[in-house]
């Protein structure tokens, strides 16, 4: 968590396994990156969009990773949105 928290950025039902006690285990960490990013330019924004498109599944990608403004902050809330969608898939909410 500190000083550089990470975001998975591709949480989905297929990337969550359960152990024998039904504890979740995250897998497929290929899209994991620093959670907190300060986007300052159009080039940085487009690069992050391209990375998200390459490494995370479209239906589970947080909305803020589709059309990133040139001056914005991206943080671990991208995984919170995805976890909500995953929980709906599991019918846990």
Residue 79 falls in the annotated catalytic set: no
Dig out the tokens for 1 from the structure.
């968590």
For residue range 5-49, what is the model confidence (pLDDT) as tens digits?
A: 999 888 888 888 999 998 989 999 888 889 999 999 999 999 999
The Cβ of residue 78 has, within 10 Å, a number of other Cβ atoms equal to 23
In the chain, domain spans: 6-90
Q: What is the pTM of this model?
A: 0.76
Cis bond leading into 78, ω under 30°? no
Dig out the tokens for 44 from the structure.
């940085």
Q: What percent of the chain has pLDDT over 90?
A: 43
- Give domain 6-90's CATH architecture: Orthogonal Bundle (1.10)
Provide DSSP, 60-90.
GS-GGGTS--SSEEE-THHHHHHHHHHHHHH
Rounded to an integer, what distance in angstroms lies between the CA atom of residue 47 and that of residue 42? 9
Query: Which among 10, 19, 28, 75 is annotated as catalytic?
Result: 10
């Amino acid at each position: 968590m500190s000083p550089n928290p990470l975001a998975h950025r591709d949480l989905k039902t297929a990337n969550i396994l359960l152990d024998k006690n039904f504890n979740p285990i995250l897998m497929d960490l290929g899209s994991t990156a620093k959670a907190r990013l300060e986007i300052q330019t159009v080039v940085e924004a487009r690069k992050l969009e391209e990375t998200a498109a390459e490494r995370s599944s479209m239906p589970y990608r947080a909305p803020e990773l589709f059309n990133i403004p040139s001056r914005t902050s991206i943080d671990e809330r991208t995984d919170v949105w995805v976890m909500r969608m995953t929980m709906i898939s599991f019918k846990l909410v």
